[in-house]
C-alpha cells in the first residue's frame, strides 16, 4: 500500500505495516519537549491522579523559554516547579537558566531531533521538527501528562497536502516569504489536521535553519504537522549536531502515495512578503505595502531567531542607524555566543538595537517588547492575532529578518532588496 512519509512514520511508531488517513493509531513517542508554560499544569495533573513517574528520563527534554529569565513572581514559581520536577525525576536533558533557549531552536541544535521519530511537545510550534523528516506535533497539557507517564499517545492519521516548491529563491526572498505565501494561498484553516509535506527544487539550496522556518509555521495553516524529506542537507546538519543515538531510520513518501491536494509554488517569482494583521494568511507583496509606518521591529523567536537570521539582519543593518526601536533576540545561548564571536552584536549595538537573552517573551506578548495601543511592529515571529504582542489595538506585521531589518532602518515597511 503506497504511503506518505507521515503515514510511514506513524505506522512504524504504532507497530503496523501500513496506515491510512482517518485511522486511529496508538503510537510510541520518541521525544517529548517540555517548557515552562504547559508543563507545570501537566505535572499537577499527574500528581492529582497519583501518577509519580516518567516513562523515560532520557527522552524528555526540558527548557524554560516563554518567560525566561522570570519576568514576575508567577513565572518564577513556574520555573521553580519545573526545576524541582526535572531534578526529582532525574531527567537527563534539562536546560536551565544560562543554557535555556527557545525550545524549537534549542532541541535541534543540541541534537535531540532525528528523522523517522515521533516527537511531541506542549507547544503548537512543535511542528518545527518536521524539517528533519520526523513526525512532530504540538499537544496540550493533558496529552502532555499522558505522554510523560506512558510514552504513548493516540493520533488520527492525517491526510497529506503536498506543497511543491519549484524554482529557486530570488535575491531578498527567504523561506519565511515562502511559507507566508503558502499560508496566503491555503488560508489559516486550509490544512486543518492535515500533514503539510514540502518538496521541490527550491528546498535544495535551503539550509536546515531555513527549512525549520517553513515547518514551524505549518500550524498557522491549521496543519497537524509540517514535514520535509531527508536529503544531504539533513544528513550534514545531523552529522554535526547529533551527540547520542546517531542511528536513525529514514522514511520517504512513495511516488504513488495519495494526497488530498497538491499546491505548486514557483519560488523564483516570489517577492518579500508581509502578513498583515490579524492573520498569518493576510500576506501582501512588499511592493504593495511599502511605506506603512512602524514603531518597533522584532527579530527573533522560534521562527527566525537562528544564527542565519541574525547574519541576514546584520548584513542589512551594518553601518546604518535605525529609525525605530529594534529588539534582537538570539534564540539560544549558543546562537547568542555566535553573534558575539562574529561581531554581529557590535553591528546591532552601533545601529541602536536592544539585544536580549534568549526568550520567547515578546512573541507571545509576555515581556521584552510589549506594544502599546496603536503601535505597529514588524516582526519575524509566526503569529499576528489581535493582542498577540501587547495591546488589543496594536498591530503585528509578519516578515523575514531581512524585511524586518530594512523596515527598522526606514521606520516604515521597506523592501530589503535595496540593501542587498
Within this chain, do residues 192 and 319 fall inside the same structural domain, yes or no?
no
Q: Is the dihedral of CA 101, 104, 106, 107 positive or negative?
A: positive
Does 393 map to a domain?
Answer: yes
Among 265, 284, 311, give the residue marking a domain's end.
Answer: 265
Strand 93-94 and strand 225-228: the pairing is unpaired
Within this chain, do residues 203 and 73 fall inside the same structural domain, yes or no?
yes
Does 279 map to a domain?
Answer: yes
Q: For residue 281, give its domain range.
A: 272-415
Dist. CA 245–CA 190, nearest whole Å: 36
Residue with cell 495591546: 391
Tens digit of each residue's pLDDT (9 = 90 or more) over 176-221:
999 999 999 999 999 999 999 999 999 999 999 999 999 999 999 9
Which pLDDT belongs to residue 123?
Answer: 95
Among 265, 294, 327, give the residue marking a domain's end.
Answer: 265
Which pLDDT belongs to residue 58?
Answer: 96
Which residues make beta-bridge pairs with 135?
118
Within this chain, do residues 406 and 303 fall inside the same structural domain, yes or no?
yes
Does 420 map to a domain?
Answer: no
Dist. CA 277–CA 287, nearest whole Å: 17
Within this chain, do residues 375 and 329 fall inside the same structural domain, yes or no?
yes
CB 231 within 8 A of CB 199: no
Which pLDDT belongs to residue 244?
Answer: 73
Dist. CA 218–CA 189, nearest whole Å: 10
Within this chain, do residues 47 and 101 fall inside the same structural domain, yes or no?
yes
Within this chain, do residues 256 and 278 fall inside the same structural domain, yes or no?
no
Residue with cell 531534578: 87
202-to-155, 267, 269, 403 alpha-carbon distances in Å? 31, 7, 12, 20
Does 359 map to a domain?
Answer: yes
Within this chain, do residues 210 and 286 fall inside the same structural domain, yes or no?
no
C-alpha cell at 36: 515552562
Within this chain, do residues 37 and 158 fall inside the same structural domain, yes or no?
yes
Within this chain, do residues 146 and 75 fall inside the same structural domain, yes or no?
yes
Dist. CA 199–CA 215, nearest whole Å: 12
Within this chain, do residues 289 and 259 fall inside the same structural domain, yes or no?
no
Dist. CA 64–CA 387, nearest whole Å: 23
Does 103 map to a domain?
Answer: yes
CB 379 within 8 A of CB 297: yes
Within this chain, do residues 111 and 9 fall inside the same structural domain, yes or no?
yes
Does 72 map to a domain?
Answer: yes
CB 369 within 8 A of CB 404: no
Low-confidence ranges of the chain (pLDDT < 70): none
Among 212, 231, 265, give the residue marking a domain's end.
Answer: 265
Does 228 map to a domain?
Answer: yes
CATH of the domain at 259: 3.30.499.10
Domain count across the chain: 2
Does 102 map to a domain?
Answer: yes
CB 292 within 8 A of CB 321: no
pTM above 0.85, yes or no: yes
Within this chain, do residues 353 and 404 fall inside the same structural domain, yes or no?
yes
Amino acid at each position: 500500500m503506497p504511503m506518505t512519509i507521515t503515514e510511514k512514520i506513524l505506522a512504524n511508531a504504532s507497530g503496523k505495516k501500513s496506515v491510512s488517513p482517518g485511522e486511529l493509531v496508538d503510537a510510541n513517542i520518541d521525544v517529548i519537549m517540555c517548557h515552562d508554560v504547559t508543563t507545570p499544569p501537566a505535572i499537577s495533573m499527574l500528581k492529582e491522579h497519583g501518577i509519580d513517574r516518567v516513562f523515560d528520563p532520557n527522552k524528555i527534554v526540558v527548557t524554560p523559554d516563554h518567560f525566561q529569565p522570570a519576568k514576575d513572581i508567577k513565572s518564577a514559581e513556574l520555573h521553580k516547579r519545573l526545576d524541582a520536577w526535572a531534578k526529582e525525576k532525574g531527567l537527563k536533558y534539562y536546560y536551565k537558566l544560562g543554557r535555556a533557549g527557545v525550545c524549537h531552536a534549542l532541541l535541534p541544535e543540541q541534537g535531540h531531533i532525528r528523522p523517522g521519530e515521533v516527537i511531541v511537545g506542549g507547544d503548537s510550534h512543535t511542528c518545527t521538527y518536521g524539517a528533519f523528516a520526523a513526525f512532530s506535533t504540538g499537544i496540550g497539557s493533558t496529552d502532555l501528562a499522558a505522554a510523560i507517564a506512558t510514552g504513548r499517545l493516540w493520533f488520527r492519521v492525517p491526510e497529506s497536502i503536498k506543497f511543491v516548491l519549484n524554482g529557486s529563491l530570488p535575491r531578498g526572498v527567504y523561506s519565511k516569504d515562502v511559507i507566508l505565501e503558502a499560508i496566503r494561498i491555503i488560508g489559516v484553516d486550509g490544512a486543518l489536521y492535515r500533514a503539510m509535506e514540502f518538496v521541490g527544487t527550491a528546498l535544495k539550496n535551503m539550509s536546515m535553519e531555513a527549512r525549520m522556518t517553513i515547518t514551524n509555521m505549518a500550524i498557522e495553516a491549521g496543519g497537524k504537522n509540517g514535514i520535509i524529506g531527508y536529503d544531504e542537507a539533513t544528513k550534514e546538519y545531523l552529522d554535526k549536531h547529533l551527540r547520542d543515538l546517531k542511528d536513525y531510520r529514514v522514511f520517504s513518501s512513495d511516488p504513488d502515495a495519495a494526497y488530498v491536494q497538491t499546491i505548486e509554488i514557483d519560488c523564483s517569482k516570489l517577492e518579500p512578503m508581509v502578513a498583515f494583521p490579524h492573520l498569518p494568511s493576510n500576506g501582501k507583496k512588499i511592493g504593495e505595502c511599502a511605506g506603512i509606518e512602524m514603531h518597533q521591529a522584532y527579530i527573533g523567536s522560534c521562527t527566525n531567531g537562528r544564527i542565519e537570521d541574525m547574519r541576514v539582519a546584520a548584513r542589512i543593518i551594518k553601518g546604518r542607524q535605525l529609525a525605530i526601536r529594534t529588539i534582537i533576540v538570539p534564540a539560544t545561548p549558543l546562537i547568542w555566543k555566535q553573534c558575539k564571536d562574529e561581531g554581529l552584536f557590535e553591528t546591532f549595538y552601533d545601529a541602536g538595537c536592544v539585544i536580549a537573552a534568549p526568550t520567547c517573551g515578546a512573541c507571545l506578548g509576555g515581556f521584552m517588547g510589549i506594544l502599546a495601543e496603536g503601535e505597529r511592529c514588524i516582526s519575524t515571529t509566526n503569529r499576528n492575532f489581535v493582542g498577540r504582542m501587547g495591546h488589543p489595538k496594536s498591530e503585528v506585521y509578519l516578515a523575514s529578518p531581512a524585511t524586518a531589518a530594512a523596515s527598522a532602518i526606514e521606520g516604515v515597511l521597506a523592501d530589503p532588496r535595496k540593501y542587498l
